[in-house]
Structures are given as C-alpha cells and as structure tokens.
Amino acid sequence: MKIEINHTCADYDSFRAEKVKSLFNPESGHTWGHIADLPIEDDDWQIGLVVGPSGSGKSSTGKKIWGEDKIYDLYDSWDTGKPIVDCIGPEHDFRKVTGALASVGLGDVPAWLRPFHVLSNGEQYRAGLARLIIDAPNEAVVDEFTSVVDRQIAQIGAAAFAKAWRRNKEKRVILLSCHYDVEEWLQPDWVYDTRTGEVKKKLNKRPDIKLDIWKVNGGYWKFFKPHYYLDLPHPPCAEYFVGTVNNELVAHLAVTPLFTAGAYRATRLVVMPEWQGVGVAGKFLDYVCRYHLEGNGRKERSYPTFFHTSHPQLCAFLRRAKGWLQTGAILHGSNKKRSGESLSRTSKSQIFKGSKTGYGGHFRAIQSFKFIG
C-alpha cells in the first residue's frame, strides 16, 4: 500500500523568515512530503513497526494508514475514580483482564488497585497496552510506542506485548516508535524505516536474557517486598535465592524445609515489574526447585518442592508447565488465630512468642502445586 503525505502551511515573509531564506537558501520551508510503501495488504501479519527519528513522518504515516480513527491512545479515557482493574474491559471476564495485565508485565498486584493517574510512567504504559489487548480492535495504530519509558522497560515491555498480542488472532496493530532498540525484542512481522524508506521482514533473533541465580541471605527481601501482595514475617529456616541480569536484581524466592512431608516449600516469589511478562518467573522457579530436587537444599535432601499461590496467571502457567503437578485448591486460608498459637508453641526462639501473627484468615483462592521434575 502506497501512502503519500503532503503537508503545507503559510509561506511567511516576515523579516526573520526572509533573513533565514537569504542565509540558508532553503528550497521550501512551508511544505513537507513523504511517500511510504507499506506491506499492509498482505494477509499473514499481525504486528507492524514504523520506526524513525523525530520529524521523519511516523505520526503522519500512522494517521494515513487506516485513518485517524484507528489511532489508539494508551493514556486516554481512564476513570480517575476507579482502579485500573475496573477500567480495563469491565464487560470481560476477570481472569482475562488480570491475564492481560500480567502478560504485558504489570503483574504487580498492588498496582491493579490504583487509579491510572497515580501509576508510574512504566505502569501507565503497560496498563495501556493491557487495555489495548483486551479491547482488541481489528486494526489499531499506537503512536509514541515506548517513548515515555526507559529503555529496559521499553525492550522487555515490547517483548511481553508481542507475546500477548499474537493471541488475538487476525487482529492487526502498527506501532510507531522513534527507538530502534525495540525491533529485536518486539519481533514484528515487518518494519518500515521512515529515515531510509526501507521495509524489513526478516529480523535477527530476539536477544537472550542471561539470568544469574545466587544463594543469598534474607537481607535482599527488602528490595522485593514492595512488590509482594502479602505482608508476612520471614519464613522459618529459609534459604534465599535471587536472580540477576547484568548485576541488576530481577527475581526473588525463599525455600523452607518441610521434612515432615518429605519436601521443601517455596515462597516469596517476586519478579521486579520491569522484568515481568517474558517468562522470567517460570524459569527462575523451575531452576531453584530442580536445584532442591537434585539434593542441593538443606541437609542435601532430594525432595520435591511445594508452592502455593493465588495469582491467577501463575496458577494457569503451572497447570500447563511440565514438571508441575497441582495438588489442591482452597477458597480461603486456615484459622489465623490457631496458626499463630501453633507458631508460638513450636518456636524455639522468641520470634513468635506472644505474637498475634499467623497464616490464613483471608479469602484468597490458594492453589497448591508440587515440582516433581
């Protein structure tokens, strides 16, 4: 499809305007044109990317492709009096909405309960992408894609969005960006460069994410706690693991012995918001659980690992994942008072003596899984 753009404005003849003309002899300052030949008439694509420097015609091209009414504004029409979980697809199933939020990397549950305008730039950007995925128009154009977030969030967010959007079969989106660094992470079906006028259809493989896993002490939990949806004490006798990418903290997990059941228990799984949506949580959890199954945990016991979660998308992932077996599901937690009394009785230290803390007393639909390798 050939798109021709012609912009014009008044040819000003003020003193300064004429001075500029005389000094630099521009052929024309009041007209601008661009011709783009885009492969949008082909049938076998879902994601296109128009990339180029500012002023090269990306926005004008986007408005011409399917018309201005196809421009999708990620930041428009959010209700400031409702949390984002109520604003995204109110007529859709709750699990589909939370799935979209998690799939674009906004799996930070507390953020779901905040209105759009109080979210960070990165959270707003991802919330907008989640809403786009749920709305799923047949044709959409997104301007300034990744322009308002830092480059790491942009790259990981692009990969997460592409993975989620491709589930919307036969839906098409064209993204306009001034940043070339999202190409390989997004893996679009085609890329049009407004700077050169060239179209690319074969891209390099998406860059690998090298995750280093470390056994650490409990002091690292403070960096992850703000992104955890429960407020609980440190698990007893736990060993702690963190995942890093280029020495940056990415993921956290604690593992406690459950030797009376011939097992371990994994808890406190957190992935930093900017790294969510690209599969880090599953790989990290699998590796640490396999580490214990192979006899590397406390007392070098070769035991399977139990893991409990109420996160709907993580539950869905574990049900599909190889090596995991679902062992149970309950609507609510156990009696919190009885749990606290048990902790107080069995503790050999003073940590829980006289404490009012305990596990349970909530209405989260907890699901239980077991890593068997």
pLDDT tens-place string over residues 73-89: 999 999 999 999 999 99
Q: What are the residue ranges of CATH 3.40.50.300 in the chain?
A: 2-200
State the SS3 of 30-43.
CEEEEEEECCCCCC
Q: Model confidence over 276-308: pLDDT tens digits?
A: 888 899 999 999 999 999 999 999 999 999 999
Q: Stretch 169-178: mean pLDDT, rounded?
A: 93
198-200 sheet: strands from edge to edge: 139-142, 172-177, 47-51, 190-193, 198-200
In the chain, which residues fall in CATH 3.40.630.30? 228-346+362-371
φ, ψ (nearest 5 deg) of residue 13: -125, 30
Beta bridge partners of 3: 36
Highest mean pLDDT: which range of 11-15, 152-156, 181-185: 181-185
Q: How high does pLDDT run on average in the chain?
A: 86
Report pLDDT for 139: 95
Report pLDDT digits (tens) over 248-268.
Answer: 999 999 999 999 999 999 999
| DSSP-derived secondary structure letter, 68 | G
Q: Name the 3-class secondary structure at 264.
A: strand
∠ CA 167-42-5, nearest 5°, is 110
What CATH topology corresponds to 228-346+362-371? Answer: Aminopeptidase (3.40.630)
CA dist 128 and 115 (Å) reads: 12
Half-sphere exposure of 1 (CA within 13 A, CB side): 13
Superfamily of domain covering 2-200: P-loop containing nucleotide triphosphate hydrolases (3.40.50.300)
pTM over 0.85: no
